[in-house]
Structures are given as C-alpha cells and as structure tokens.
Amino acid sequence: MDADMQDSPDEIPELYRMITQDGYHLVSGWKKKRHDPLSKTIPSKFFNYVTRKLSGIPLHDFNCGLKAYQATVTRNITVYGEMHRYIPVIAKWAGFTKISEKVVEHRERKFGTTKFGLERFINGFLDLLSITFVSRFRQKPMHFFGTLGTISFLIGFVFTIKVIWDKMDALYFSKIPIKRDITDQPLFFLALVAIVIGVQLFVTGFLAEMISMQSFSKRDYLVIEKVGMDATEKVPN
C-alpha cells in the first residue's frame, strides 16, 4: 500500500476472504470512484484498456496497490523492475487463471505528491509489450521471428521478381528500350533490404530457440497437484 493514505486498510479482510474462501488465486482492487485529476485518470483508463485487450484479463485497475494472492502464486512468479503492476498478467501466464477484482474505496490524497508522469506512462507500456512478448514467445521464439522473417523474405522475393521481369520486358519485349540499370531502381534496394531483414530474422529465431533450449528449468511447467494423490498432498516445486 502507498503511504499517501488513499488506500483503505479496511478492504484487506474482504480481499483475504475472497482468497481463502472463494478460492481465487489473485484478487485485485478496483478504484472505481477515484479522487485523482483527469491528467492521471484518463491515461490510467487508456492504459488499463490496452492491458485488458493484450492480456485477456478482465480487470479494470491493474495498477491498484490493493491486491491479495495465494501463497502459491507469490512463490512461483518472478517480478523484477517495475513489473509489479503486471502481477495479474505474470500470474496468468504461470497458470493461475482464477483472477478476480473487488471495488475498493479510494480516498483523496492527504500526504505526499503523485509520482505519475509521462515517463512512467511510457515505461509502463514498454514493460507491457515486454512481458507480453516474453510470456507468449519465451518457449517458441521462432514462431515470432520466423513469421516476420517469412513475410519480409516473401516481400523481397516478389520485389525481386518484379525487378527482373521489368528488365527482361525492357530488353526483349518492349518496343522502346529502357537503358536504366536494375540497380538504379528504388525497388531493387527495397527488395534487397527485405530479403536481408528476412534472413536476419530467421537467424535471430534460430539463435533464440537454441538459447531457450539451454535455459529451460524445472520451473517451466508448474505442477501443484498430481491426479490420484491425496488432496492435501502437494508436489514440491
């Protein structure tokens, strides 16, 4: 909780109850009625909207500091840098999908000053893109780089065929000869760049696959319970 007294500790018992009795893995607070200026609330709504769409988690307030977690969640996720605002996203990609939210009281600021600014807004979106990419393609980087590489290479190949066809048409079929060389055409350089980028993306995908294969650990797949075991017997991580 922040020290500015905007969050109410009276919300904690209900958050705790939703974890222990309702069985949620994670419960996030939702500051539905906020006492913040428009310069903070409007960017926050936009930020939360984009995060919902990219993550698929139907939360209204990812950045609310009031959250409750099962102990299993906190032991099996890794948070670094400023990724604390994306703990629901990290938890979901770790397999903890029982995520809910609760409307919490938001008070007017009594102490301190806001730390929200343009830099934090930009860094937040960069962190979102980073965690979304890592979560989806950490174990299959070739699916990302290979797809982009294929598209780039095919575009370059089509441009190359077009350049060669135009040259052949000018030499053998056109009644008006065109003396311009292939290398004088802008399309030639576009084709060259597209093919080179496509090859580079493929190489990047292969290198990423090799690195990911070497970095696999026992924690890549979380096993909490085994079928046939007693419900209270847990498998150690």
Q: What is the pLDDT of residue 138?
A: 74
- Which structure tokens are listed for 82? 């400023």
- Rounded to whole angstroms, how far apart are CA atoms 93 and 96? 7
Average pLDDT over residues 219-235: 55
Is residue 223 very low, low, confident or very high in pLDDT (cuts 50, 70, 90)?
low
Are 214 and 139 in contact, with CB atoms under 8 Å apart? no
**pLDDT-above-90 percentage for the chain:** 21
CA distances (Å), origin 27, targets 9, 184, 213: 15, 62, 34
Computed over every residue of the chain, the mean pLDDT equals: 80
Low-confidence winner among 29-33, 194-198, 211-215 (lowest mean pLDDT): 211-215
> How many other β-carbons are positioned within 10 Å of the β-carbon of residue 98?
15
29-33, 36-40, 191-195, 218-222: range with lowest mean pLDDT: 218-222
The one-letter amino acid at 17: R
- DSSP 8-state assignment for residue 11: G
Higher pLDDT, 53 or 24: 24
CA–CA distance, 210 with 134 (Å, rounded to integer)? 16
Per the model's pLDDT, the better-predicted residue between 227 and 18 turns out to be: 18
pTM of whole model > 0.95?
no
Would you place residue 32 in the very low, low, confident or very high pLDDT band (cuts 50, 70, 90)?
Answer: confident
155-210 pLDDT, tens digit each: 999 999 988 887 777 666 665 655 567 677 788 899 999 999 999 998 998 888 88
- CA distances in angstroms from 215 to 20, 54, 93, 140, listed in the order given: 35, 26, 18, 13
pLDDT tens digit sequence for 57-108: 889 988 888 899 998 898 888 887 777 878 888 888 888 889 999 998 887 7
Q: Name the 3-class secondary structure at 124.
A: helix
Burial of 48 (0-12, 13-18, 19+ CB in 10 A): middle
| In the predicted structure, residue 46 carries a pLDDT above the cut 50 | yes
Q: Is the pLDDT of residue 232 over 50?
A: no
Other beta carbons within 10 angstroms of residue 127's beta carbon come to 17
Per mean pLDDT, which range of 4-8, 49-53, 167-171 is the poorest?
167-171
Strands 26-30 and 99-103: parallel
Instruction: Quote the percentage of the chain above a pLDDT of 70.
Output: 79
Residue 26 contacts residue 99 (beta carbons within 8 Å): yes
pLDDT of 133 reads: 79
The residue ranking higher by pLDDT, 171 or 47, is 47
